Amino acid sequence: MDELAQELGGERANLTFLFGPRYLAPLRYLILFFRTGILLLRRRPDIVYTQNPAIFCPLSCMPFCKIFGRKLVIDHHSVWSTKTLGRGFIGRTIRWLERYASSRASLNTTPHPVWAEELTELGARNVLTIYDFAETSKIERSESVRQNYLQGKKFLALAPHGGHPLERLEVEVQAAEALGSIVVLLISGPEGKLARRIASLTLPDNVHYLGFIPKSNYLELVASLDVGLSITDEPFTVSHSLLEFAANRIPIISSNQSVVRELFGDSIIYVESSDPAKVSAALNFLMSDRDNLADYRRRIGEKQVELGAKRRAAVAELRKSVLT
């Protein structure tokens, strides 16, 4: 949303209240409804670009857009009812609300075609896919960063995590343990979501959990890697870490998700997320031959150029749709 706000010459407003506990959700959304209305009345924007989930944010913006004749654009980070809530009463209610909002918006945007197809089936109009993207990195590979972690081994890998329960952290650890003589695997992610899972594991000497890494340190670390890992059973999300690896021309090993394959094609290596041996084999394939590493650096570099062109074309379409 930050990037798209810049593309459109807009201002991002981040309203948060009672963030966290689910039992406070009704009170939270009610208060945010009024705070959103007050903000829109003060700013009087020509275009309101709002994000789902939660669908209550677009719904809170609809009265202002209807009364003042403004354009409402909804960025569907996901289709909430499909990804999280299932087909129970709450899920069906949220799905009806998503159908109602997306069918009345001037434009709906999604980060990949899976959500675009889902929205079309819901009855959304004017659906535009705008791939997530990370600009080609200008940060240089740092040998001092590498030596800080390598401990005499040759290769450095990173597996960033957001804390989703379907992320296969345990598989990554087992895969790295089998290659303990040549690789160090670093795991990053928020302590609040990962600490308990990490504590339940016995990490081998070549696997280290770093916790949450500030952005500047994280980007420097990514630029200094040999391999990036993203092993998960979460079916709908393209981790932003994959795009950050691509921005630094870092070879990637990913679980075989359709949304990832659609985006990256043959520029990365796919593995079965439930099989540590296959993840180890993929790591060994890259590390046993420098030509293999160089080949996948080339592939991901070419894909980065292609993704940049797709992103620019989609943003141009976005501007044409909402600014004319």
Q: Is 282 helix (H, G, I), strand (E, B) or coil?
A: helix
Do 18 and 114 lie in one domain? The reply is yes
246 in a domain, yes or no? yes
Do 126 and 147 lie in one domain? The reply is no
Do 148 and 280 lie in one domain? The reply is yes
162 in a domain, yes or no? yes
Pairing of strands 207-211, 127-129: unpaired
Using alpha carbons, list the distances in angstroms from residue 305 to 214, 249, 253, 262: 27, 11, 19, 16
Distance, CA of 61 to CA of 124 (rounded, Å): 17
Kindly state the helix (H) or strand (E) to which residue 5 belongs, with its residue range.
Answer: helix 2-7
How many domains is the chain partitioned into structurally? Answer: 2
Mean of pLDDT values over 135-152? 90
**Domain finish residue from 130, 164, 184:** 130
Do 105 and 160 lie in one domain? The reply is no
- Whole-model pTM: value is 0.85
Mean of pLDDT values over 121-137? 89
Number of H helices, E strands in the chain: 14, 10
Spell out the residues 6+ positions from residue 286 whose beta carbon is closer than 8 angstroms to its own.
226, 227, 251, 253, 269, 292, 293, 296
Using alpha carbons, list the distances in angstroms from residue 197 to 21, 162, 163, 203, 253: 21, 13, 9, 11, 22
Nearest in space to 226 (alpha carbons), one of 286, 300, 144, 136 = 286
Tens-digit pLDDT profile for residues 306-324: 999 999 999 999 888 887 7
Mean pLDDT across the chain: 90
Nearest in space to 230 (alpha carbons), one of 238, 222, 220 = 238
Find the CATH number of the domain harbouring 218: 3.40.50.2000
160 in a domain, yes or no? yes
Residue 39 has pLDDT above 80, yes or no: yes
30 in a domain, yes or no? yes
Do 122 and 241 lie in one domain? The reply is no
Do 126 and 157 lie in one domain? The reply is no
Do 158 and 264 lie in one domain? The reply is yes
Residue in the block written with tokens 């079916």: 235
The residue range of the domain holding 215 is: 143-306
Distance, CA of 173 to CA of 185 (rounded, Å): 8
pLDDT band per the 50, 70, 90 thresholds, residue 222: very high
